[in-house]
Chain A
């Protein structure tokens, strides 16, 4: 059974997480300075989310954007990534994560997203998501 029971749950959680990351952590200034934008195409549940220095967008609004990096993965893979439980090279090698965009920019995302990984367990508690 998928970690995120539906699209609404995922959009709500990540709406809060991205906004907090941008406004309250070093991720905000960094993503603005580097002009980074990311499009997540998630399956199970089907969610499209876009984030840049201006904040997150979802669904049709997100699909209209032209991101620097596009990432495709399942909702469970998203969850494990933010919990720091994902072996990134393994996930890439086995195509659990697929990315489009300059490889150096993709590699750069890993450390940039760390502030979010520190916040994520708090959201798991709030939304009653498993952390095992």
Chain B
């Protein structure tokens, strides 16, 4: 379903990009996502799975590199255009949208470094890839560390007691990596490259971390089984193991000297994406509720003709528009300044995921028993939305982090971009 955009200044290029994303979302993503959702996690990544054809089509259309600069072969689209694309994608499938974003994550961060070796070795080949064969993942959480890995500002964060499950030690001109990442690494078991967060100086707790890029065909890398879960089943997730894996010194992109603010920069970008995607999910739920309320007859008339239903439909609409307004505002700010004001990404992520979840919950309620069956998409929207409250930092942790930033920076001065 189309929607009225309250931004009356969209350019023809903006509209064209949105329509291209919508066509792909409607014709390819949503049907594939429903197929994948019904498969086991292992079947989903097995040979012959529709996942591979989906990725190939996405890469052929350049949707894997929307965050990357044109100079390196990326799409170089504007912050608003990024939002337009992500909303359409997540309308079709939140999980596949995350998959398409994480494939570029190691390469996006390599662009921030701008080092010629990293660009030539990693970024340009990824941008040239048209068959989906180069795929990144974001490996940050660990079996023993979920949200506390984001607990910047808390005493524990810088405590030597905070021993990571993955360590990197410099030996000569190489980093030697040992340990593992959690089963929640998005795209983990199908990735060819990882944006890997690792502990370098355990005496500083997680403030002693670093960030590197690791091709996952290096000797000593192994992968766990794909994770079975209730939501975003069409998003592959799974563990990564590192046993004396060696990478050149130059592939360590961030070190403890500036790890904490660097983490914030990465988190800000990830949270903006989550907020934009939530708009698509909120809209999908709203549209399902509206369509059903016009079709379903109860008490001798369509649901929508019942007084209370009009109010409930309006609330779904209001949350969708709020999601769009908040996430676009945050993207417009933080994809236009460097470094970002992280609290605005956290605001957008926490609020938009909550509203998308409320929409998916309310839509099931409006659909009644039909909303609980596997026959319709609304139960999938609900399961997918539930995962977003935890994904990329659970909302409570993110709110705490936001409060920490506010305590230190509020009010920011107008010229502090």
- Give the residues from 67 to 112 in chain A that come closer than 8 angstroms, CB to CB, to chain B: 70, 72, 87-90, 92-95, 97-108, 110-112
Q: Which residues of A contact B67 (CB under 8 A)?
A: 104
The answer to whether B339 has its CB under 8 Å from any CB of chain A is yes
* CB-based nearest B residue for A113: B114
- Which of the 9-residue segments B76-84, B172-180, B347-355, B363-371 touches chain A? B76-84
Number of A-B residue pairs having CB atoms within 8 Å of each other in the complex: 81
The minimal Cβ–Cβ distance linking B213 to chain A, given in whole angstroms, is 12
A70 to B415, CA, bound (A): 12
The minimal Cβ–Cβ distance linking A110 to chain B, given in whole angstroms, is 3
Q: Which residues of A contact B72 (CB under 8 A)?
A: 108, 111
Q: Is the CB of A104 within 8 A of B77?
A: yes
Q: Is the CB of A89 within 8 A of B335?
A: no
Given A88-B113, A110-B114; A93-B69 close (CB under 8 Å): no
Q: Which residues of B contact A72 (CB under 8 A)?
A: 417
A106 to B269, CA, bound (A): 15
Q: Which residues of A contact B243 (CB under 8 A)?
A: none
Q: Which of A89, A93, A108 contacts B71 (CB under 8 A)?
A: A108
A88 to B69, CA, bound (A): 16
Most chain-B Cβ atoms within 10 A of its Cβ — which of A89, A99, A111?
A: A89
The answer to whether B338 has its CB under 8 Å from any CB of chain A is yes
* CB-based nearest A residue for B338: A99
- Which of the 9-residue segments B50-58, B257-265, B375-383 touches chain A? B257-265
Q: Which residues of B contact A104 (CB under 8 A)?
A: 67-70, 74, 76-77
Q: Is the CB of A105 within 8 A of B69?
A: yes
- Tally of A interface residues using CB under 8 Å: 26
Most chain-B Cβ atoms within 10 A of its Cβ — which of A90, A99, A107?
A: A107
A79 to B265, CA, bound (A): 25
Q: Is the CB of A111 within 8 A of B253?
A: no
The minimal Cβ–Cβ distance linking A84 to chain B, given in whole angstroms, is 10
The answer to whether B399 has its CB under 8 Å from any CB of chain A is no
A108 to B111, CA, bound (A): 8
Q: Which of B71, B113, B336 contacts A103 (CB under 8 A)?
A: B336
A123 to B107, CA, bound (A): 34
The minimal Cβ–Cβ distance linking B83 to chain A, given in whole angstroms, is 13
A30 to B336, CA, bound (A): 22
- Give the residues from 46 to 78 in chain A that come closer than 8 angstroms, CB to CB, to chain B: 70, 72
* CB-based nearest A residue for B253: A89
The minimal Cβ–Cβ distance linking A100 to chain B, given in whole angstroms, is 5
The minimal Cβ–Cβ distance linking B112 to chain A, given in whole angstroms, is 5
Q: Which of A70, A98, A101 contacts B339 (CB under 8 A)?
A: A98
Q: Which of B114, B119, B262, B335 contacts A93 (CB under 8 A)?
A: B262
- In the A-B complex, the 4 residue pairs with the smallest Cβ-Cβ separation, listed nearest first, are A110-B114, A93-B261, A108-B69, A99-B338
Q: Given contact pairs A89-B265, A105-B69, enumerate 14 new A-B contacts (beta carbons under 8 Å).
A: A70-B417, A88-B114, A89-B113, A89-B262, A93-B254, A98-B338, A98-B416, A101-B336, A103-B336, A104-B67, A106-B338, A107-B69, A108-B70, A108-B72
The contact sample of 20 A-B pairs, CB cut-off 8 A, is: A72-B417, A89-B262, A90-B257, A93-B258, A93-B262, A93-B264, A98-B339, A100-B417, A103-B335, A103-B336, A104-B68, A105-B76, A106-B338, A107-B71, A107-B114, A108-B70, A108-B71, A110-B114, A111-B71, A111-B114
